[in-house]
Amino acid sequence: MITIDRMAAVDANAAALGVPRKQLMESSGNAVARAVRDVAEPGARVTIVAGRGNNGGDAFVAARFLDTYDVRVRLLGRAETITTEIARENWDALQQGEYDATEVRDSRALDLDDPDVVIDAMLGTGVTG
């Protein structure tokens, strides 16, 4: 597993090379989508459980790359508390594209709905507490 310090160094190196954060998130989301395609056929039910940080943002991107799948995105918390602008932009893209993307404001209301694949995008390297 990559450490927080190592991930920060990777991000800093990418920025120094001129790779925009938005491109990093697009690449990460695309990689997640490829992993889903490796384990499930088109049409499979995929549920994404996402946090409010950049890890969630990566997953929002992945949802867009999985158009041939039955994808549901569940955001843990309120959309207005998404912590980065880039993750918020990708959440907004899901809303504008009319994807099945909803907020889960109470953990008792989280229903994975028996998917074929679950993407855990709840916590990333920035988690504290």
- pLDDT tens digit sequence for 7-66: 778 777 877 888 788 888 999 999 999 999 999 999 999 999 999 999 999 999 999 999
The domain of 54 spans 42-124
Range list of H helices, the chain = 4-16, 21-39, 54-65, 85-96
Q: How many independent structural domains does the chain possess?
A: 1
Q: What are phi and psi of 123, to 5 degrees?
A: -125, 145
Q: Distance (Å, rounded) from C-alpha 90 to C-alpha 40?
A: 24
For residue 112, is it within any domain? yes
For residue 103, is it within any domain? yes
- Return all residues near 7 (Cβ < 8 A) that are at least 6 apart: 125
For residue 4, is it within any domain? no
**What pLDDT is recorded for position 49?**
97
Question: Which CATH number belongs to the domain containing residue 54 in this structure?
Answer: 3.40.50.10260
Give the pLDDT band (50/70/90) at residue 71. Answer: very high
For residue 2, is it within any domain? no
For residue 34, is it within any domain? no
For residue 9, is it within any domain? no
* pTM given for the model: 0.87
Residue pair 25/90 in contact (Cβ under 8 Å)? The answer is yes
